[in-house]
Structure 1
Amino acid sequence: MIGIGFAQQTPGSKQTAPFSIEGATAHLGDGTVIENSLIMVSDGKISFVGSANMRIARMGKVINAKGKHVYPGFIVSNTTLGLGEIDAVKASIDEREIGAFLPHIRSIVAYNAESKVVESMRPNGVLMGQITPRGGMVSGTSSLVQFDAWNWEDAIIKADEGIHASWPNSLTFGRWWLGEDNGAKANPNYTKSIALFKEKIENAKTYLAGPRNPKNLVYEAMEGLLNGTTKLYVHVDGQKEIIDAVNFAKDYGIKLVIVNGDEAYKVADVLVKNNVPVIVQRAHRIPGGDDSDYDFSYKLAKLLVEKGVTVAIGMDGDMERMSARNLPFYAGTYAAYGLGKEEALKLITSNPAKILGVEDRVGTLAVGKDATLFISEGDALDMRTNVLSHAFIQGRTLSLESHQTTLWKRYANKYKNQ
Structure 2
Amino acid sequence: MRTLLSSLLLPLLALPAVAHDLIPATAQSRDLLLRHATLYTVSQGTLEDTDLLLHDGRIAAIGKQLAAEGAEEIDASGKRIYPGLIALDSHAGMVEIEMARPTRDIADVGLNNAELRAASAFNPDSEIIPTLRRNGISHVQLVPEGEAMAGQSALVGLDSWTVEQALVPSRMGQHLYWPELGPLASDDEERSKQLKEHDDALRQIRTLFADAKRYALGIKAGDKIAQQRNLAAMAPLFDDAATLFIHVDREQHIEEALKLCREYQLKPVIVGGYDAWRQAASLNELGARVIYASVFSLPQRSDEPVDLAFRIPALLSDAGVPFAIGYSGDWDSRNLAFAAGYAAAHGLGQDKALRAITLDAARLLGVDDMGALEVGFRGNIIVAEGDILDPMSGRIEALFIDGRRVDLNNRQQQLYQKYLKK
TM-score, structure 2 length as denominator?
0.89
SS of the residue aligned with 2:421? helix
% same residue: 29
Match of 1:375 in 2: 383
The correspondence for 2:174, drawn from 147, 163, 173, is 163
SS of the residue aligned with 1:23? strand
Match of 1:38 in 2: 51
1:19-78 per-position Cα deviation (integer Å, ceiling 9, x unaligned):
11111111112361111121111000101123x2xx541451111111111000000001
Match of 1:326 in 2: 335
The correspondence for 2:246, drawn from 217, 234, 240, is 234
Match of 2:235 in 1: 223
Would you say the 8 A contact 2:246–2:268 is kept in 1? Answer: yes
* Cα pair distance change 1:413/1:355, threshold 3 Å: same
Would you say the 8 A contact 1:31–1:342 is kept in 2? Answer: no
Say whether residues 1:275 and 2:308 are aligned partners: no
* Cα pair distance change 1:402/1:183, threshold 3 Å: same
Q: Aligned equivalents of 1:184 and 1:291: distance in 2? A: 24
Report the CA distance between 1:137 and its aligned residue.
Answer: 0.7
Match of 1:301 in 2: 313
Report the CA distance between 1:241 and its aligned residue.
Answer: 2.4
Report the CA distance between 1:387 and its aligned residue.
Answer: 1.4
How many residue pairs align between the two structures?
A: 402
Say whether residues 1:252 and 2:261 are aligned partners: no
Supply the AA of the counterpart residue of 1:168.
Answer: P
Report the CA distance between 1:170 and its aligned residue.
Answer: 5.7
Structure 1 stretch 217-226 or stretch 245-254: which is displaced more?
245-254
Report the CA distance between 1:182 and its aligned residue.
Answer: 11
Match of 2:13 in 1: none
The correspondence for 2:155, drawn from 140, 144, 155, is 144
Report the CA distance between 1:181 and its aligned residue.
Answer: 6.5
Gaps of 5+ in 2: 1-15
1:219-263 per-position Cα deviation (integer Å, ceiling 9, x unaligned):
221122122121000011222322332232233232310111111
Report the CA distance between 1:193 and its aligned residue.
Answer: 3.4
1:298-323 per-position Cα deviation (integer Å, ceiling 9, x unaligned):
1111110111112212233xxx2121
* Cα pair distance change 1:171/1:400, threshold 3 Å: closer
Q: Aligned equivalents of 1:181 and 1:267: distance in 2? A: 26
The correspondence for 2:344, drawn from 300, 324, 335, is 335
Say whether residues 1:85 and 2:93 are aligned partners: no
Supply the AA of the counterpart residue of 2:360.
Answer: N
Supply the AA of the counterpart residue of 1:302.
Answer: A
SS of the residue aligned with 2:330? helix
Q: Aligned equivalents of 1:321 and 1:175: distance in 2? A: 36
Say whether residues 1:23 and 2:32 are aligned partners: no
Q: Aligned equivalents of 1:175 and 1:137: distance in 2? A: 28
1:348-381 per-position Cα deviation (integer Å, ceiling 9, x unaligned):
10111110000x2211111111101110111101
Match of 1:57 in 2: 67
Q: Aligned equivalents of 1:84 and 1:188: distance in 2? A: 32
Q: Aligned equivalents of 1:94 and 1:197: distance in 2? A: 24
1:318-360 per-position Cα deviation (integer Å, ceiling 9, x unaligned):
xx212111110110000111111111001110111110000x2
C-alpha RMSD over aligned residues: 2.4
Report the CA distance between 1:138 and its aligned residue.
Answer: 0.8
Structure 1 stretch 262-271 or stretch 241-250: which is displaced more?
241-250
- Quick check: which one's helix share is greater? 2
Q: Aligned equivalents of 1:42 and 1:156: distance in 2? A: 21
Would you say the 8 A contact 1:233–1:258 is kept in 2? Answer: yes
SS of the residue aligned with 1:222? helix
TM-score, structure 1 length as denominator?
0.90
SS of the residue aligned with 1:24? strand
Would you say the 8 A contact 1:45–1:395 is kept in 2? Answer: yes
SS of the residue aligned with 2:299? coil
Say whether residues 1:353 and 2:388 are aligned partners: no
Q: Aligned equivalents of 1:221 and 1:43: distance in 2? A: 35
Say whether residues 1:12 and 2:21 are aligned partners: no
* Cα pair distance change 1:100/1:386, threshold 3 Å: same
Q: Aligned equivalents of 1:351 and 1:149: distance in 2? A: 24
Q: Aligned equivalents of 2:173 and 2:21: distance in 1? A: 29
Q: Aligned equivalents of 1:191 and 1:282: distance in 2? A: 24
Would you say the 8 A contact 2:181–2:194 is kept in 1? Answer: no
Match of 2:108 in 1: 97
1:114-138 per-position Cα deviation (integer Å, ceiling 9, x unaligned):
1011121001101100000012111
